[in-house]
């Protein structure tokens, strides 16, 4: 993937993908993460972000206004959605 890049910055990479392709992409991101590749992904897919992200940032008016730590697997998609809705 990207000639063994150490960092990737995909923008809405699962937009337009069917559910199987989205799941395959998430599996790929997890493999890359385990191999030490940094991924900074812009997405509106809260469930996908929850599944693959170590940290989730919420942006408002072009600026980062909240960072959620997902390293302990304590965040649920509904919690992330609620924080997002409160933030915007």
6 neighbors 38 (Cβ within 8 angstroms): yes
Q: In terms of DSSP H, where are the helices of 11-76?
A: 19-34, 46-52
pTM (2 d.p.): 0.74
Residue with tokens 């910055």: 9
**For each of the chain's 88 residues, which pLDDT tens digit applies?**
667 889 999 999 999 999 999 999 999 999 998 999 999 999 888 888 888 888 888 888 989 888 888 776 677 878 888 888 888 8
Whole-Å CA distances, 5 to 8, 18, 35, 39, 50: 7, 26, 11, 10, 23
């Amino acid at each position: 993937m990207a000639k063994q890049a150490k960092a990737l910055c995909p923008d809405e990479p699962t937009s337009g993908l069917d559910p199987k392709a989205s799941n395959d992409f998430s599996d790929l991101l997890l493999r890359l993460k385990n191999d030490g590749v940094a991924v900074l992904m812009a997405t509106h897919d809260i469930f996908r972000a929850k599944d693959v992200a170590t940290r989730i940032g919420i942006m408002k008016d072009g600026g980062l206004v909240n960072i959620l730590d997902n390293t302990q697997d304590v965040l649920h998609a509904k919690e992330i959605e609620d924080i997002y809705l409160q933030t915007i």
